[in-house]
């Protein structure tokens, strides 16, 4: 890699650069590793947004702590809890760092060990989020999710660490740009939409639903709901309504009769 006013730098290029290079940004992280972010023009046009979509290709997702997310089709993505599993190693690295003398070489060595331990957690989290978001994008034409006020949610000291470890904001950011790149749709519904308190079968709305209540039965139609699954189904229905309100055809597939010739 050639950078102005510097000798050629040996680099591991993980992706072929095809096109005109516009800029190269060099940076070093706390662990002492150097990275180069290359911006180039590939000359390819962006994909056109889909002109129509099918209802069975619309998925609603409800994020959580016990499960990272629940889909409207009933599938649940488990929460890996990377920080919790790495806590023992991080504490040991922190103790080793705190015992060193300021300004010494051992302190710098311990600092880098601690930074690498945190980096492994961050890399594992990012890798999992990329896999989950890519799967959702590949399996759908439109995705619907709630608009979350994560900064306000982090003020809850009992859940702040778990919320930060789940990285909902980063997951939704990845979904948004990947859906746009593929010409698909990502809808974020209003924060105060009562997705958890409303029955996805009949539309009955509960006056109150505690966070500890994970399952409930509708007093109007008697339907039994898993809290997260019901919320995902309501989010999907609201997402379809928004898409149709914006003028996008959301079609139903016609089921062929087994007796048809």
Show which residues are catalytic: 62, 146, 228
Q: For residues 64 and 228, give the distance between their C-alpha atoms in angstroms, rounded to a whole number.
A: 8
Determine contact, residues 50/185, Cβ cutoff 8 Å: yes
Q: For residues 22 and 38, give the distance between their C-alpha atoms in angstroms, rounded to a whole number.
A: 8
Q: What are phi and psi of 171, to 5 degrees?
A: -60, -45
Determine contact, residues 79/66, Cβ cutoff 8 Å: yes
191 vs 21, 41, 42, 48, 176, CA distance in Å? Answer: 41, 37, 38, 29, 17
Of 160, 153, 146, 175, the residue nearest 63 (C-alpha): 146
């Amino acid at each position: 890699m050639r950078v102005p006013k510097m000798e050629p730098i040996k680099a591991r290029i993980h992706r072929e650069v095809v096109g005109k290079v516009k800029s190269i940004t060099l940076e070093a992280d706390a662990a002492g590793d150097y990275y180069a972010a290359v911006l180039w023009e590939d000359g390819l046009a962006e994909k056109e947004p889909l002109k129509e979509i099918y209802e069975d290709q619309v998925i609603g997702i409800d994020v959580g702590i016990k499960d990272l997310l629940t889909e409207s089709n009933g599938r649940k993505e488990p929460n890996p809890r990377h920080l919790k599993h790495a806590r023992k190693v991080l504490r040991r690295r922190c103790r080793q760092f705190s015992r060193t003398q300021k300004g010494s070489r051992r302190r710098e060595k311990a600092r880098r060990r601690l930074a690498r331990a945190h980096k492994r957690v961050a890399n594992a989290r990012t890798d999992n989020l990329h896999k989950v978001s890519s799967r959702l994008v590949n399996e759908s034409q439109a995705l619907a999710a709630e608009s979350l006020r994560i900064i306000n949610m982090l003020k809850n000291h009992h859940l702040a660490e778990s919320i930060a470890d789940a990285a909902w904001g980063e997951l939704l950011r990845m979904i948004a740009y990947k859906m746009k790149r593929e010409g698909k749709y990502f809808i974020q519904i209003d924060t105060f939409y009562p997705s958890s308190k409303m029955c996805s079968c009949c539309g009955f709305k509960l006056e109150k639903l505690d966070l500890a209540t994970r399952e409930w039965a509708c007093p109007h139609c008697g339907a039994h709901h898993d809290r997260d699954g019901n919320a995902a189904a309501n989010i999907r229905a609201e997402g379809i309504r928004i898409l149709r309100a914006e003028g996008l055809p959301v079609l139903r597939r016609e089921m062929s009769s087994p007796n048809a010739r």
